[in-house]
Structure 1
C-alpha cells in the first residue's frame, strides 16, 4: 500500500479548513443552462465582443491540468497550477507554516522568493549554506536534516538545478533527505530549470515519498515568462490542501489558452529544439567568459545561465552595460561577493558579448583560452 500524505505536515488550524467556495466550485447540481450565481456582467465587453472573458475562469482548468500532467509525466490529481511558481511557493508556505512559529530551511546561495514568502507570512528562515567546490556547489543534506529537527522547521526549499548556482543535487541525496524528514517537513524541490539538466525529475518519487513537492514552470524552457504559469506537483492529498488555501481563479482564461497551446505536440517539439540549442550555447558562453582575464571561476551548471566570479565585477558589469548588454549582479547573495550571472541568449547575443570583450581589450587571446579554462576550473 502506498503511503499517505501526513496531515501533521499541515498547519493544525488549517487541517479542517474548507477554503473559499467560489461560484465555479459551489454548483454541484444538474447541468446549468443559465449562470446567474457569480454577479458577472450580463453581456460582453466592447473589447471582448464574443464574451470569452465575461465569465470567471475555472479555478484549475481541466485541459491545462491534464496538459501539464502529460508534459511532466504525472497523475493530474497531483497537479496544482497558479500565477507562476512564486504563487505555488507562497501557497505551500501558507498551508504548512504557522506564522511566528514554524520555520523554513534554505541553502544559500539560492532563489530569493523562498525567504521572501516566508517572511511575508511571519515565518522564520534558517540557512544551511552550500559549499563552493570550485566548479560546482554542494548541499549538505545531513546538516539540513539536523537544522530542521533543531528549529522545528516545516519546509525545506532546495532548487535543483540551483539558481544562481546551476548545480544539481544528486537524486539519492534528495530522497535520503525526504525520507529522513518524512514525519517532520515538506521537501520542496524547485525544478524550474530541470529541462536543461541531465538528471531526471524527482516528481515520480512522490507516490512513495509523499512529503516531496516539486515546482515546475513554463517561464524558462517553454518561453512563457510573461504568461506566469507555475505548477506544483504534489501528493494528491496535499494537492487538495493547497487548493483550499489558494486564492480563487488563479489562471486567467487568456493564460489558460496560451499555456494549453504551448503544451501541444507541435509546440513541445519546438521547445525541445530550443532546449538543445540552449545547452549547446551554454557551453559556448562559458568558453567566451573563460577568455576574460578577470574571471576566476565559472559554474556552467545545468540551467540556462552561467555563473562567474570576477576580480572586477563592477568593471565587467559596466563593460557589458556600455554595449547595451544587461546581466545579473549576484553580489547581494551570501557567498557571491564577486559574482555575476549571465543568461544564455541567442547565438547573436553571445557574439555581442564576445565583441564587447574583444573591443574593450578585456578578452585575452583565443590561443590562451584553454589555459584560462584550466586556470579557473
Structure 2
C-alpha cells in the first residue's frame, strides 16, 4: 500500500462501494438490468432520460482532463466542488479523531463537511497585511503536524479575500506534510488568477489535490459540474465512496458543449473582461468616501471594507444590486464582497455607493 493510501480511513482502503448497473461493461440492445422504464417520459423528446447516466461520462471526463492538463484517471467528476470537498473529508477523516485545517475567513463548505463527518476543525486565520489577507503557510504546517490534520484546505484565490497562494509555498507545505496530510488547493476561481495552476505540482507531489469547477468562469453554475484532481490511487478511492450516478445526462451534455473550442474562446474573452473590470472597480471604489479598504483580488470579486457597511448594503439593495454581506465572517465585521459584473452592472455599483455618500 502506498503512503498516500495510508491517509485514507482504514475501513475504506479496501471499500468496494456500490456497483451500479451502469458501471458494468456489458453490451446489448435490450437493457433489462437496471429496472428502468421501457418507455420514455412524454416530456423527454429524445427518450434519453429513462436510462441512468454513466457514473463518469467518458467524453466529458476526457474533455475536462484535456482542459486541465491531466490524465482522465487523475480526475473525478462530481456535483460541483462541494461534493469533492465532502468526499475528501469522508474518505480520509475518522469521525471524532482526525482533523482538517481551514484558513478563515474562507469558503464555509470545508467546515460544514467536517462537522457533518465529525472531524475536528483547526483554524489558522488569514493574516491581514499590506498586501491583503494572506495565508500563513508556516503556521498552517505547524498546526497540521501538531494537531493531527489529515486535510489542509487552501482556497486560492481565496474566497472572499481574493488572495492567491504562490506555488512555491504550496510545494514547501506539501513537502512538510508528505505522508501526514493532503494539501487540497481549491481553485474555483483559478481562471481569473495570474499564476499557474497547482495541477502542475501533481506529478512531483502525490499529496497535492486540486479542485476545479465550471460554475464560475465557465458560466455553468446550474449544471453543478466540479472535479477533484489528484493521484490516480486517491481518485479511485473517492470514486468508490461516491454515490451512484453523480452526473445527470443533461448536465454532462451541457458541460461538454460548454467546453467546446468556440465556447472556451468565449470563456477566455469573458475572463479578460472580468479582469479589466476588476481593476477598474478596485480603483473606483477605493476613491469613494466611506470606503475604508478595497482588497486586491485574483478572483472575480472584490472584498471591500466600509465605515458603515450596513448603510452601503442598503444603498446597493435600493439600487437593485445584491452583494454578499460578510459581516458575520471572522475579521470581516465591516466588509461586503462584490462580484465583478458586466461594465454596466459595475457602473450601477459605483453609482449606488457614490449616491449614498452624496445623500449623507
- TM-score normalised to structure 2 length: 0.97
Q: What is aligned with 1:131?
A: 127
Q: What is aligned with 2:182?
A: 186
Deviation of 1:362 after TM superposition, in Å, equals 4.4
Q: What is aligned with 1:214?
A: 210
Distance 1:119 1:151 in 2: 17
Deviation of 1:7 after TM superposition, in Å, equals 1.3
Higher alpha-carbon deviation: 258-267 or 142-151 = 142-151
Distance 1:288 1:321 in 2: 19
Deviation of 1:128 after TM superposition, in Å, equals 0.6
C-alpha contact (below 8 Å) 2:288/2:354 kept by paired residues: no
Deviation of 1:134 after TM superposition, in Å, equals 3.3
Question: Taking structure 1 as reference, are residues 323 and 155 closer, same or farther at Cα in structure 2, changes over 3 Å only?
Answer: same
Distance 1:310 1:356 in 2: 14
Structure 1 segment 278-317 matched on structure 2, within 5 A: 278-317=274-313
Say which SS state the counterpart of residue 59 (structure 1) adopts: coil
Q: What is aligned with 1:17?
A: 15
**Equivalent residue in structure 1 for 2:356, among 330, 355, 360:** 360
Higher alpha-carbon deviation: 279-288 or 154-163 = 279-288
Deviation of 1:159 after TM superposition, in Å, equals 0.5
Q: What is aligned with 1:371?
A: none
CA deviation digits over 1:186-245, x for unaligned, max 9?
Answer: 110000111011110011211211111100000110001111111111111111000000
Structure 1 segment 37-52 matched on structure 2, within 5 A: 37-52=33-48
Q: What is aligned with 1:28?
A: 25
Q: What is aligned with 1:367?
A: none
Q: What is aligned with 1:343?
A: 339
Distance 1:5 1:71 in 2: 29
CA deviation digits over 1:60-88, x for unaligned, max 9?
Answer: 00011011011111111111011110011
Say which SS state the counterpart of residue 335 (structure 1) adopts: coil
Question: Taking structure 1 as reference, are residues 277 and 211 closer, same or farther at Cα in structure 2, changes over 3 Å only?
Answer: same
Deviation of 1:49 after TM superposition, in Å, equals 3.3
Corresponding pairs, count: 360
- TM-score normalised to structure 1 length: 0.93
Deviation of 1:289 after TM superposition, in Å, equals 1.1
Question: Taking structure 1 as reference, are residues 296 and 361 closer, same or farther at Cα in structure 2, changes over 3 Å only?
Answer: closer
Q: What is aligned with 1:252?
A: 248
Distance 2:3 2:67 in 1: 24
**Equivalent residue in structure 2 for 1:329, among 322, 325, 330:** 325
Structure 1 vs Structure 2 CA RMSD:
1.5
Say which SS state the counterpart of residue 271 (structure 1) adopts: helix
- Structure 1: where are the runs of 5+ without partners? 365-377
Q: What is aligned with 1:94?
A: 90
Distance 2:64 2:127 in 1: 34
C-alpha contact (below 8 Å) 1:104/1:156 kept by paired residues: yes
Deviation of 1:5 after TM superposition, in Å, equals 5.8
Higher alpha-carbon deviation: 64-73 or 285-294 = 285-294
C-alpha contact (below 8 Å) 1:293/1:363 kept by paired residues: no
Say which SS state the counterpart of residue 361 (structure 1) adopts: helix
Deviation of 1:358 after TM superposition, in Å, equals 3.4
Q: What is aligned with 1:6?
A: 4
Determine whether 1:205 maps to 2:171: no
Deviation of 1:35 after TM superposition, in Å, equals 1.3
Deviation of 1:351 after TM superposition, in Å, equals 1.2
Deviation of 1:291 after TM superposition, in Å, equals 2.5
C-alpha contact (below 8 Å) 2:289/2:357 kept by paired residues: no
CA deviation digits over 1:3-60, x for unaligned, max 9?
Answer: 96621110011011000000011x335x322211111011111111321111000000
C-alpha contact (below 8 Å) 1:357/1:363 kept by paired residues: no
**Equivalent residue in structure 1 for 2:111, among 115, 127, 146:** 115
